[in-house]
A and B are shown apart, each in its own frame.
Chain A
Amino acid sequence: EAQVTQNPRYLITVTGKKLTVTCSQNMNHEYMSWYRQDPGLGLRQIYYSMNVEVTDKGDVPEGYKVSRKEKRNFPLILESPSPNQTSLYFCASSWRYNEKLFFGSGTQLSVL
C-alpha cells in the first residue's frame, strides 16, 4: 500500500532533549516536506526537499533540522526542543513539487 509513515504518533518530551521524528514513503517520490499545524495558525511549512541531498527552509525553520540521505526517508530533528514547538507535525510527499501531496498521519508533540 502506497503510504507516508510517520513515527512516533505521539511524543511527550522535556525541554532540551534532542528528538527525531521519522518519515518514510514507499512511492519513490522526489519531493518531501514537513509541516506543523497549530490552532489559529493553520498549517505552515518547516522544511522541504526536492530530492536526495537537496533541502531548503520553509516558512518556520527555526529550531528544526532535516536531512535527506535516501529518497524514501526525511527525518525531522529537534536538537533542543522548546515548549513553543509543541504542535501537530505532518510529513508529506509527492512525485514532484507540483503534484498531488500525500500526507502522513501526523505526530503530536508535547514539549514540557
Chain B
Amino acid sequence: KQEVTQIPAALSVPEGENLVLNCSFTDSAIYNLQWFRQDPGKGLTSLLLIQSSQREQTSGRLNASLDKSSGRSTLYIAASQPGDSATYLCAVVFSGGYNKLIFGAGTRLAVHP
C-alpha cells in the first residue's frame, strides 16, 4: 500500500532555530512530492514542489530535498519565526496512480518568541 508518513507529529521550537521536518513514502516510484502549509481553519498553500527528476527546491528560508531511493524528503526551515507556526503536510503523487495525491498526516509546528 502506498503511504506517506510524517515525523514528528508536533514540534515546538524557540524563534530563530533552524529545523527539519521529515516525510517518508513507501514506494520510490513517484512523479513528484509537494510540501504544503495549512493554517488553522484555512486551506492549504503549496510551498515547494519537487519533481521526481529533481533533488531539491528552495524558496526563501525553505529548502526541500528529495531522496527517492530511500523514500524520504525533508523540509528545512531556516531561522524560524512565530509566523511559521502552522501544520506542514507533504503529499506524493506515486507513479502507479499518477493522478492521485497521497497526503501525510502533517507536522504541527509551533515557533514561540
Residue positions of A touching B, CB distance < 8 A: 4, 31, 33, 35, 42-45, 48, 50, 56, 58-59, 90, 92, 97-106
Contacts and interface: CB of A to CB of B under 8 A. Distances in A.
Contacts of B45: 103
Interface stretch (B12-20, B68-76, B77-85, B103-111): B103-111
Nearest to A9: B41
Lowest 6 A-B CB distances belong to which pairs? A103-B43, A43-B103, A103-B44, A42-B105, A97-B99, A105-B43
B24 interface: no
A58 B93 CA distance: 12
B58 interface: no
Q: Is the interface of B mostly helix, strand, loop or mixed?
A: strand
Given A43-B103, A48-B99, A56-B99, A98 B32 contact: yes
Contacts of A48: 99-100
Which has the most chain B C-beta neighbours within 10 Å: A43, A44, A48, A105?
A43
Contact of A45 (B32, B43, B89, B101): B101
Contact of A100 (B41, B49, B89): B49
Given A43-B89, A102-B46, A103-B45, A97 B98 contact: yes
Nearest to A57: B100
B65 interface: no
B34 A101 contact: yes
A76 to B, nearest CB: 15
